[in-house]
Amino acid sequence: MKKWILLTLTLFSTVVISGERDTHGGGYFFCPNVPDDGTYNLLDLWEGQKLENLTYPHINGDIEAQFNFIFNKFSKELDSSFSNKLKAEIIAIRNNFKFISYTDGIVIPAPSDARQNLSKRGCELKGLASFQSIPWEFGLLYIDKVAYDQISEFEKAALFVHEAVYKILRDEVGAADSVLARTITANILAENIDQKLFSGRTLACTDKFGENSFYVTEKNNDWSFVQLVNGYSQSVHPDTKYMIPMSVEEFLKKRPNLEFPLTGRPKENNIKFKYRDDEDPRRTGYFLETARRFEPIKCNLQ
């Protein structure tokens, strides 16, 4: 997998935190001369409000009060294994972050995977945080202190939720950008989510390099949704999913062929996976139907 890189740039030796593998923390809208329109500035929550019509709770108190509410919400609404995993990652990241300020000479770029054609009117998208996995064993989250102080307590907590979700996606299925992480964060924090994400048993399916990967999450009435994460070594938009009429157990037995339509692309560009048995178990698994030979995709129950 591609690794983080540190680039020392500019005449003033400003460090730009960037990279391709773990780039990315959160982004926020900087709106110095724009009247408050009641929407959030954290990118995840703004996209949830404006693009998915989600609403969010208003919790009084500091960030600890926000987390008390959020952890209780997760315990009630998410599958217990995912909820516990998410809480553990949030706590770990809160124990491994560092504030940076202007005097540190470090710049966090705006997220490169934001929907650049859709933005908050009159505002500029800027970088708020960036998670670096090297050289630390767990990783270190850099947070722009000036930007952090400009967002609400709920948004501060949501930032750590975003980082935890994104780390899980990177570790389990090799997600290479934060588009899906933002969608999951926006939904699990919302008041009016239509269906619970990761509310049932979940298969994480990926090859060893994370080039091709998908989730299979069981819903009610023995239906599951299949969510593509990476295809052809490229991250995809989170709407690249569909429902299948089978439980996770049936999926493991039947090993159905999968075909993911790509928004705005002709049907012949759909991403197709087919299961293949081989005498060598190392060559058994799902394969992408393409001329290029990828590693087999293995599924693990989460």
Average pLDDT value for the chain: 80
Per domain, the residue ranges of the chain are 4-188, 202-301
Does residue 40 register a pLDDT over 50?
yes
More confident residue, 183 or 254: 254
pLDDT at 164 (0 to 100): 95
Q: Is 183 helix (H, G, I), strand (E, B) or coil?
A: helix
pLDDT band at 11 (very low <50, low <70, confident <90, very high): very low
Q: 239-257: per-residue pLDDT in tens?
A: 677 788 888 888 989 999 9
The answer to whether the CB of 210 falls within 8 A of the CB of 1 is yes
pLDDT at 69 (0 to 100): 97
pTM: 0.72
Does residue 235 register a pLDDT over 80?
no
Q: 43-63: per-residue pLDDT in tens?
A: 999 999 988 889 999 999 999
Cα–Cα distances (Å) from 142 to 94, 131, 193, 209, in that order, read 11, 6, 30, 26
Per-residue DSSP letter, 4: E
Give which of 197, 256, 198, 259 is closest to 228, Cα–Cα.
Answer: 259
Give which of 274, 275, 66 is closest to 152, Cα–Cα.
Answer: 66
Cα–Cα distances (Å) from 172 to 71, 150, 155, 254, 290, in that order, read 22, 33, 25, 23, 23
The secondary element (H helix, E strand) that includes residue 80 is: helix 80-94
- Residue 98 CB neighbours (<10 A): 12
